């Protein structure tokens, strides 16, 4: 394990179990009022009355809940003491459990315990983590024979689509909340970092600490996204099935996912940027700076000056990549995440010095995150 991974684990053990948990949906063991030894008895049926009919949500819940797990993690920790926390996960085809990277503290060197909905416990090993998509894969020691994995949806989610979040909020195992997809194509920036998770699904289904890593499923029982975070009231986020479909196989096979990297600092083109740079339309990405020695060095040009009001001028404005319009930073991050790999050569249409031109560049690999 590299020193950078140790540093990330130490950081998350200090800030993640408290500060990160508040925004990212993971929970410390003990945060729940229900202890583990009480959970097994809590599910025992002592009521002999007839069971209610339920609803279509009940049907989806029954078809999916057995594949949803509780994930408890302990590690060496850092300045704040032993790293420990718990979240959710779900069984993926092939016998692996998908969860969030932040649930396992961005590390493969942690002790993992998994509990299935039946109450059965098993151990497991983290075999892959990806900080930039907040995804991780656990290989459990055992999988109950009667548990069917959940498939990732191959359909693009739409606003208004009904979804269910299933997981273990504040330790309440097997909980379900209902809502809709309330936004798509979001880019969500985690605290303390200068990057964004791309292609995020927004939902108003209740997401609380402990839901992290659990599935956000559609009414067909397929996973629309991997629950990632909550922000404010009635705003939850999930890493999209499209991004998960790219990342998870790489984590299973290689333990990591290589993200494309351009090496630029960008600013979305708004009316202020457009007016200062004499653009006819307020659309595209303004290249504020180019990293020395990065993939874009020598290909793209950054800002050369600012106006009296401090607005940057003179940089390239990216309008499209490989013929696909790039109207904002969400479109750029999604294109890179879903359609490219490090080493790919892309064709960019840019506005430079008032004229449209086309340039080509070879993408690099995003470097290891630092704190």
Active site residues: 102, 134, 212
- Residue appearing with tokens 């699904």: 201
- Residue appearing with tokens 């430079």: 352
Q: Are strands 305-306 and 285-290 parallel, antiparallel or unpaired?
A: unpaired
Q: What are the tokens at 66?
A: 């057995």
Closest CA to 261 of 332, 201, 318, 314: 332
- Residue appearing with tokens 């009480």: 38
Question: Mind giving me the DSSP string for 47-85?
Answer: --SPPP---HHHHHHHHHGGGEEEEEEEE--BTTBS-EE
Q: What are the tokens at 265?
A: 């600092």
Q: What are the tokens at 69?
A: 């797990």
How many CB atoms sit inside 10 A of residue 357's CB?
11
Measure the CA–CA gap between 83 and 214, rounded to whole angstroms. 20
142 neighbors 69 (Cβ within 8 angstroms):
no
Measure the CA–CA gap between 368 and 371, rounded to whole angstroms. 10
Report the DSSP beta bridge partners of residue 246: none
């Amino acid at each position: 394990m590299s020193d950078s991974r140790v540093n990330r684990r130490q950081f998350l053990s200090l800030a993640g179990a408290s500060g990160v948990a508040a925004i990212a949906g993971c929970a410390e063991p003990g945060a729940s009022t229900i202890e583990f030894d009480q959970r097994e008895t809590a599910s025992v049926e002592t009521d002999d009355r007839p069971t209610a009919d339920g609803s279509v949500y009940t049907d989806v819940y029954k078809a999916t809940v057995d594949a949803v797990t509780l994930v408890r993690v302990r590690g060496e920790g850092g300045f704040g003491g032993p790293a420990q926390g718990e979240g959710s996960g779900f069984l993926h085809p092939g016998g692996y459990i998908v969860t969030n990277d932040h649930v396992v503290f961005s590390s493969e060197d942690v002790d993992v315990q998994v509990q299935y909905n039946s109450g059965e416990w098993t151990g497991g090993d983290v075999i892959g983590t990806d900080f930039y998509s907040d995804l991780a894969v656990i290989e459990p020691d055992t999988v109950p024979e009667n548990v069917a994995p959940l498939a990732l949806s191959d359909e693009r989610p739409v606003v208004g689509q009904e979804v269910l979040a299933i997981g273990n909020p504040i330790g309440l195992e097997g909980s379900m909340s209902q809502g809709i997809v309330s936004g798509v194509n979001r880019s969500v920036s985690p605290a303390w970092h200068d990057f964004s998770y791309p292609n995020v699904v927004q939902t108003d289904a209740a997401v609380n600490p402990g839901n992290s890593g659990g599935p956000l499923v559609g009414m067909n029982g397929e996973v629309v996204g991997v629950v990632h975070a909550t922000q404010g009231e009635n705003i939850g986020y999930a890493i999209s099935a499209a991004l998960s479909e790219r990342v998870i196989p790489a984590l299973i096979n290689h333990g990591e996912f290589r993200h494309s990297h351009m090496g630029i600092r960008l600013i979305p083109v708004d009316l202020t940027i457009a007016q200062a740079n004499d653009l006819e339309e307020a659309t595209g990405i303004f290249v504020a700076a180019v990293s020395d020695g990065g993939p874009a060095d020598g290909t793209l040009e950054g800002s050369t000056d600012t106006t009296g009001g401090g607005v940057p001028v003179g940089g390239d404005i990216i309008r499209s990549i490989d013929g696909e319009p790039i109207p904002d930073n969400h479109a750029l991050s999604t294109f890179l995440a879903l359609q490219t790999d490090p080493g790919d050569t892309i064709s960019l249409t840019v506005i430079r010095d008032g004229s449209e031109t086309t340039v080509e560049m070879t993408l690099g690999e995003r470097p290891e995150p630092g704190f």
